[in-house]
Structure 1
Amino acid sequence: MTMAGSAARHGMAGAKAESGGGARSDRANEYDLSDKDFRTIAAIIYDDAGIVLKPLKMALVYSRLARRVRALGLAGFGDYCNLVSSDAGHPERREMLAALTTNVTNFFRENHHFEHMRDVTLPPLLEAARQGGRVRFWSAGCSNGHEPYSIAMTILSLMPDANKYDIKILASDIDPYVVAFGRAGIYDAAAVEPIPMALRKRWFVSHEGGAHYKVVAEMQNLVSFRELNLIGQWPMTGVFQAIFCRNVLIYFDEATRETVWHRFCDYLDPAGFLYVGHSERVSGAASLRLATEASTTYRLRGEAR
């Protein structure tokens, strides 16, 4: 699940932070957004993606969706709500979700997770892979791809020939635009700045005269980008040795968060790790199955393994 806006589609951002407030519109007071219209939009976003839009986000909703109302040639938000509430409006509901969300991330964000992965998680897994074992990672809410490619670079720093083995990273997000962006693997110079120079030189190539950088094929092949709704069906059948879901569930209500945490437990390898965002804590039934391993890092309790 992501929160993706127009800035993200130009390579400026990635993981999950919704901005608040902001200008009412680039054409102030062009349309009227009534409380009823806001409640309709908030209910649809909640039903479709589990995202909670509180009334204080009304200005953000106006500024983001006034552009959609204008682009569709509608008279106002009343007509827009009628459209997205109808069977014919399902394509626009996806556009609405993308418009209402914003990505804020970078490569190796919350780097302690990647250090833990490098030092603790990966060594036994890579040895198992060399012996023919299956190794799987999941970036749940991958946004523009910064997180799964950071996972890939961490793997490749220890095993440059990882493509020869059964090692894969699932990168999933609800937003088709950021999924396509991540799959393309092209980032501007500012986006790749946090990447250590040695990794940048090895796993990226200059693109468009140096204004952008493209992920090399060896790294790109480790990552599979897919659309997936965290409150919908999960088609995966196997388990993962590591699941990253960071700064995503903060946009859900408590009951939905607890449901998703618990579902993660069923997809976690008995010796695997769950990495969450810096402000997140596992709660509900999942807290009985998961124990704290390190800062915002969890693993299944002994009895649950």
Structure 2
Amino acid sequence: MINSDENITKIINFIKEKTGIDINQDKFKKFYAKKIEQIIKEENYNNFPGLYSDLISNKNPDLIQKIINTVTINETYFFREEEHFRIMVKNIIPELMKIRPQGETINILSAPCSSGEEVYSILIHLLENPHLIRERDFMIIGIDINTSALEIAKKGIYTKGSMRAVPPHLVSKYFIKEKNFYRIKNSLQEFVSFENVNVRDKYSMKRLGKFDIIFSRNMFIYFDEHSRKETIATFYSMLKPEGYLILGHTERIPETSEMFVKQKHKNSIIYKKR
């Protein structure tokens, strides 16, 4: 049904508009075409015009979500690019504590959070610096467009691959081993929350509130330029004054941007709201 170049282009453009993810035709055919064809078959569509009409009119949200879950990338693990977490607890949060009113909660957003490893990595680094917890309350929210990934995050059960960068003493401290899996302790799950939110949906994003720190790592490498600029502007509007945006090691905000001040910390670059 979607094997013609014209139909594939329409599906690719729909995905780009909905998620910001830019997929070329060769990649689509190689990695996603068969999976999406199977989804279409399961949803009982027998012609492309009917399928496409339901996509662009949002008539079948379940179909749209299944396609989104298929094309979104969820490869991650605990303590990935760990230097960012160290910068957070040693530099960013102490600075924020000085400028935020006494008693004000420090809000941290992980967008996208995938299957939750980043959210729990943030929390573990805070717990390993108890003086921060004693002085302030923290709110940590993870959001993602992929509902399958969020189910894993909410359950808090992970494979050995997700644990590969966690030191053994922290594994035993914060996880319970269950056969070939590792379950985050229930006491940690109470400190975080997860929501199904699309970063391209400005209204839903702003409904989350204002944040002191936004982690958004390794998402923009999949975005087209327009989606990247729009999402950076959304993050900017959601950050409190002098809040921080943390991107992946390979991602950069253009030097010409007047929204953020670039800060260099050893091997990492982070961005402070002007």
TM over 0.5: yes
In structure 2, the residue matched to 1:11 is: none
Go from structure 1 to structure 2 and tell me whether the alpha carbon gap of 1:196 and 1:236 turns closer, same or farther (over 3 Å shift).
farther
Cα deviation, residue 122, structure 1: 2.9
Among 92, 100, 103, which residue is 1:121 paired with? 92
Among 136, 142, 147, which residue is 2:113 paired with? 142
Stretch moving more, 99-108 or 235-244: 235-244
Q: 1:246-266 CA distances to partner (integer Å, 9 max, x unpaired)?
A: 111222221221121122222
Question: What is the CA–CA distance in structure 1 between the aligned matches of 2:4 and 2:79, rounded to whole Å?
Answer: 41
Question: What is the CA–CA distance in structure 2 between the aligned matches of 1:173 and 1:67, rounded to whole Å?
Answer: 23
Question: What is the CA–CA distance in structure 2 between the aligned matches of 1:204 and 1:198, rounded to whole Å?
Answer: 10
Question: What is the CA–CA distance in structure 2 between the aligned matches of 1:185 and 1:160, rounded to whole Å?
Answer: 26
What SS class does the counterpart of residue 269 from structure 1 fall into? strand
What SS class does the counterpart of residue 271 from structure 2 fall into? strand
What SS class does the counterpart of residue 139 from structure 2 fall into? strand
What SS class does the counterpart of residue 125 from structure 2 fall into? helix
In structure 2, the residue matched to 1:50 is: 20
Question: What is the CA–CA distance in structure 1 between the aligned matches of 2:99 and 2:175, rounded to whole Å?
Answer: 27
Question: What is the CA–CA distance in structure 2 between the aligned matches of 1:101 and 1:73, rounded to whole Å?
Answer: 23
Stretch moving more, 220-229 or 46-55: 46-55
In structure 2, the residue matched to 1:271 is: 242
Stretches of structure 1 that go unaligned for 5 or more consecutive residues are 1-30
Count residues in correspondence: 268
Cα deviation, residue 162, structure 1: 3.9
Cα deviation, residue 36, structure 1: 1.7
The residue correspondences of 1:72-83 to structure 2 (distance < 5 A) are 72-75=43-46, 80-81=51-52, 83=54
In structure 1, the residue matched to 2:64 is: 93
Among 28, 34, 37, which residue is 1:63 paired with? 34
Contact 1:205 1:213 in 2 (8 A): yes
Matched to 2:81, the amino acid is E
Go from structure 1 to structure 2 and tell me whether the alpha carbon gap of 1:86 and 1:138 turns closer, same or farther (over 3 Å shift).
closer
In structure 1, the residue matched to 2:220 is: 249
Question: What is the CA–CA distance in structure 2 between the aligned matches of 1:168 and 1:292, rounded to whole Å?
Answer: 25
Go from structure 1 to structure 2 and tell me whether the alpha carbon gap of 1:166 and 1:104 turns closer, same or farther (over 3 Å shift).
same
Contact 1:138 1:240 in 2 (8 A): yes
Among 172, 195, 199, which residue is 1:226 paired with? 195
Q: 1:88-118 CA distances to partner (integer Å, 9 max, x unpaired)?
A: 3232011111112232111111111112112
**Higher relative contact order structure (alpha carbons within 8 Å, sequence separation ≥ 6):** 1
> What is the identity percentage for the equivalent residue pairs of Structure 1 and Structure 2?
27
Among 181, 184, 188, which residue is 1:212 paired with? 181
Cα deviation, residue 34, structure 1: 0.7
Matched to 1:102, the amino acid is I
Question: What is the CA–CA distance in structure 1 between the aligned matches of 2:133 and 2:167, rounded to whole Å?
Answer: 20
What SS class does the counterpart of residue 288 from structure 1 fall into? coil
Question: What is the CA–CA distance in structure 2 between the aligned matches of 1:200 and 1:242, rounded to whole Å?
Answer: 26
Question: What is the CA–CA distance in structure 2 between the aligned matches of 1:252 and 1:263, rounded to whole Å?
Answer: 15
Question: What is the CA–CA distance in structure 2 between the aligned matches of 1:62 and 1:191, rounded to whole Å?
Answer: 28
Matched to 1:252, the amino acid is F
Matched to 1:290, the amino acid is F
Stretches of structure 2 that go unaligned for 5 or more consecutive residues are none
Question: What is the CA–CA distance in structure 2 between the aligned matches of 1:32 and 1:238, rounded to whole Å?
Answer: 40
What SS class does the counterpart of residue 128 from structure 2 fall into? helix
Contact 1:37 1:78 in 2 (8 A): no
Matched to 1:269, the amino acid is K
In structure 2, the residue matched to 1:290 is: 260
What SS class does the counterpart of residue 119 from structure 1 fall into? helix
What SS class does the counterpart of residue 243 from structure 2 fall into? strand
In structure 2, the residue matched to 1:258 is: 229
What SS class does the counterpart of residue 88 from structure 1 fall into? coil
Go from structure 1 to structure 2 and tell me whether the alpha carbon gap of 1:152 and 1:126 turns closer, same or farther (over 3 Å shift).
farther
Matched to 2:269, the amino acid is T
